[in-house]
């Protein structure tokens, strides 16, 4: 088999092209299998030999790749955890210069998750993920880990914190893994730990669907999801929750009891005034893992090839973000993705009514309430006091839920427009 054709076949194999698809490409290049001067068995043996070559001295090849990255950019960071008794490498962490820069800009809220079947050594992949100003996922750092114990997570979190200059995130979202929780308490002592809502709800999905069906007439699903996603505050949330479950007679249902007992770890009401970047789930980490596994790596990928494919995926994401254009007047501040979100929320905001606070002694304060006060949403039945003092540059709302719905920010913008236009007419969609 010619050297050039071997190289083409190896490139296709290394980049995840299925064996049969690679053979079909070879057949097209040769104008048919009958033109091959070799057999498929020869190709199979060549492929097996290439895999052996890639896995040979795999760890040293990985470390050499890291050294080259460091030579190319001094801000590349990597560290390994070695068993002091056996000398075996247990855990490997690295973060490229661009990832560290992303963390400086967008590292206030991160999600952390692990996944399996990404490499030939079956080492779980751990990823620290956030969201950038294009509302796109960004990965701040990654690790291949030997186990998922508290000790391991402590090493990993300490390494991540050291990599990021000691800066801790404001909020970290994880699943309910107790080993993670213990390590976070020690390492991220200034960080608020929040559990992923999806992981909390998933074990009870079947039972909740049954309850929704049984209490369809009372709109249980609509009311419960509204209560979870748009809470007023801890006290109001608990009052409304108890009222709802009592009305439906489900207070003692195992699913309801389980969700209630964990409420302070995942319900938005208990994270008021805390920037959460619109994130309530680790699914952005999981989606990053899926992208990596679907297009770049698989369970047979050697470690050094894995690290190179990880870099490929980061460069691909950077390339896609580079195409993000700006337009319209608001594009001076927002990227296109954020501007589209703004337009959607702006349209939603027309469902709210804004009127001056009836207290004549208070200036620059308005009452904001939903137009459908008879609706089933508990928050739609309340009026919120909003301060919009243009001269002092003070804008706030008592709901303290800006980052969760984005709605209050838009209402404040509307109020600002009213002030600029010197118009306090009711806004009623």
Query: What would the pLDDT profile of 105-125 be if each residue is shown by its tens digit?
Result: 999 999 998 888 778 788 899
Q: CA–CA separation, 407 vs 28, rounded Å?
A: 56
User: pLDDT tens-digit profile of 372-395?
Assistant: 655 555 656 667 777 777 777 777
Q: Is the dihedral of CA 212, 216, 219, 222 positive or negative?
A: positive
- 182 lies in a domain? yes
Position 429 in a domain = no
Question: Cβ distance 377 to 226 under 8 Å?
Answer: yes
Final residue before a domain boundary, out of 253, 271, 289: 271
pLDDT value of residue 119:
81
Q: Is the pLDDT of residue 423 over 50?
A: no
| Edge-first strand listing for the sheet containing 365-370 | 352-356, 365-370, 383-389, 394-397
Do both 309 and 370 map to the same domain?
no
Question: Among all chains, which residue has been given the structure tokens 């490139």?
Answer: 11
Q: Are residues 43 and 101 in the same domain?
A: no
Return the DSSP state at 35.
Answer: G
When divided into structural domains, the chain yields a total of 4
Q: Give the pLDDT confidence score for residue 132 in this predicted structure.
A: 84
191, 230: one domain: no
Residue 425 lies in a domain: no
- The CA radius of gyration of the chain, in Å to the nearest whole number, is 27
Q: What is the pLDDT of residue 421?
A: 45
Distance of alpha carbon 197 from alpha carbon 265, whole angstroms: 9
Tell me what pLDDT residue 404 has.
Answer: 38
Residues 127 and 171 occupy one common structural domain: yes
- State whether 102 and 49 are in the same domain: no
CA dihedral 179, 181, 186, 192 (to 10 degrees): 160
Q: Which stretches of 154-295 are assigned E, i.e. beta strand?
A: 171-174, 192-195
Of the candidates 221, 400, 230, 417, the one whose C-alpha atom is nearest the C-alpha of residue 330 is 417
Same-domain pairing of 189 and 137: yes
Give the E-state strand segments of 371-421 in sequence order.
383-389, 394-397
CB atoms < 10 A from the CB of 127, how many?
24
Asked if residue 66 belongs to a domain, the reply is: yes
Tell me what the mean pLDDT of segment 176-197 comes to: 94
Last residue of a domain, one of 37, 55, 73: 55
Report CA dihedral (325, 346, 107, 138) to the nearest 10 degrees: -50
Residues 192 and 311 placed together within one structural domain of the fold = yes
Residue 191 lies in a domain: yes
Write down the pLDDT at residue 257: 97
The whole-angstrom distance between residue 353's C-alpha and the CA centroid of its chain comes to: 33
Looking at the structure, do residues 51 and 64 belong to the same domain, yes or no? no
Among the three residues 31, 55, 79, which one is the final residue of a domain in this structure? 55
408 vs 302, more confident: 302
Instruction: Say which CATH number the domain at 303 has.
Output: 3.30.420.10
Contact, 355 vs 367, CB < 8 A? Answer: yes
The range of the structural domain enclosing residue 156 comes to: 58-196+281-321
Strand partners, 369: 353, 383
pLDDT band at 399 (very low <50, low <70, confident <90, very high): low
Judgement on whether residues 213 and 347 belong to the same structural domain of the protein? no
User: In this structure, are residues 119 and 125 in contact, taking their beta carbons and an 8 Å threshold?
Assistant: yes
Residues 117 and 182 in one domain: yes
- Identify the residue with better confidence: 301 or 144: 144
Contact (Cβ atoms closer than 8 angstroms) between residue 147 and residue 252: no
Q: 230 and 377 in contact (C-beta within 8 Å)? A: yes
> 184 and 73, same structural domain?
yes
Q: Is residue 187 part of a domain?
A: yes
Burial class of residue 3 (count of CB atoms within 10 Å of its CB; 0-12, 13-18, 19+): exposed
Is 285 in the same domain as 348? no
Spatial distance between the Cα atoms of 116 and 278, rounded to a whole number of angstroms:
27
Give the span between the Cα atoms of 282 and 279, in whole angstroms: 8
Chain segment 305-342, per-residue pLDDT in tens: 889 988 988 877 665 665 554 444 555 555 666 666 66
pLDDT band at 349 (very low <50, low <70, confident <90, very high): low
How does pLDDT run across 276-295, given as a tens digit for each residue? 766 666 656 556 666 666 66
> CA–CA separation, 137 vs 130, rounded Å?
6
Residue from 117, 115, 173, 172 nearest 148 by CA: 115
Angle at 258 between CA 172 and CA 273, to 5 degrees: 35
Tell me, yes or no, whether 426 lies in a domain.
Answer: no
């Amino acid at each position: 088999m010619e050297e050039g054709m071997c190289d083409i076949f190896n490139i296709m194999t290394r980049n995840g092209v299925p064996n049969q698809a690679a053979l079909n490409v070879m057949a097209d290049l040769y104008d048919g299998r009958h033109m091959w001067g070799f057999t498929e068995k020869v190709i199979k043996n060549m492929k097996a030999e290439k895999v052996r070559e890639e896995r040979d001295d795999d760890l040293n090849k990985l470390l050499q790749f890291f050294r080259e990255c460091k030579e190319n950019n001094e801000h590349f960071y990597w560290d390994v955890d070695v068993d002091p008794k056996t000398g075996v490498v247990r855990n490997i962490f690295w973060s490229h210069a661009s990832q560290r820069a992303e963390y400086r800009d967008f590292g206030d809220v991160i999600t952390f998750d692990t996944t399996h079947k990404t490499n030939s050594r079956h080492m779980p992949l751990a990823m620290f993920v956030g969201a950038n100003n294009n509302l796109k996922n960004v990965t701040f750092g990654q690790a291949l880990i030997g186990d998922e114990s508290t000790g391991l997570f402590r090493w990993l979190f300490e390494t991540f914190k050291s990599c990021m200059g000691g800066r801790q995130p404001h909020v970290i979202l994880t699943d309910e893994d107790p080993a993670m929780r213990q390590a976070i308490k020690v390492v991220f002592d200034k960080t608020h730990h929040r559990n992923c809502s999806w992981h909390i709800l998933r074990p009870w999905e079947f039972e909740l669907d049954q309850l929704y069906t049984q209490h369809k007439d009372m709109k249980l699903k609509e009311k419960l999801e509204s209560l979870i996603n748009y809470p007023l505050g801890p006290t109001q949330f608990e009052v409304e929750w108890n009222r709802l479950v009592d009305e439906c007679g489900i207070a003692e249902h195992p699913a309801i009891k389980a969700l209630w007992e964990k409420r302070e770890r995942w319900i938005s009401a208990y994270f008021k005034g805390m920037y959460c970047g619109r994130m309530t789930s680790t699914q952005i980490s999981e989606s990053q893992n899926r992208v990596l596994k679907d297009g770049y790596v698989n369970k047979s990928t050697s470690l050094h090839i894995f690290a190179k494919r990880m870099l490929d995926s980061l460069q691909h994401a950077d390339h896609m973000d580079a195409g993000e254009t700006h337009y319209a007047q608001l594009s001076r501040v927002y990227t296109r993705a954020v501007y589209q979100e703004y337009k959607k929320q702006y349209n939603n905001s027309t469902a709210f009514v804004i009127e001056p606070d009836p207290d004549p002694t208070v200036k620059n304060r308005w009452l904001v309430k939903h137009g459908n006060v008879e609706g089933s949403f508990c928050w739609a039945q309340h009026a919120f006091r909003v301060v919009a003092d243009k001269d002092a540059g003070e804008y706030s709302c008592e709901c303290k839920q800006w980052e969760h719905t984005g709605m209050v920010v838009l209402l404040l913008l509307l109020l600002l427009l009213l002030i600029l236009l010197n118009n306090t007419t009711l806004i009623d969609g």
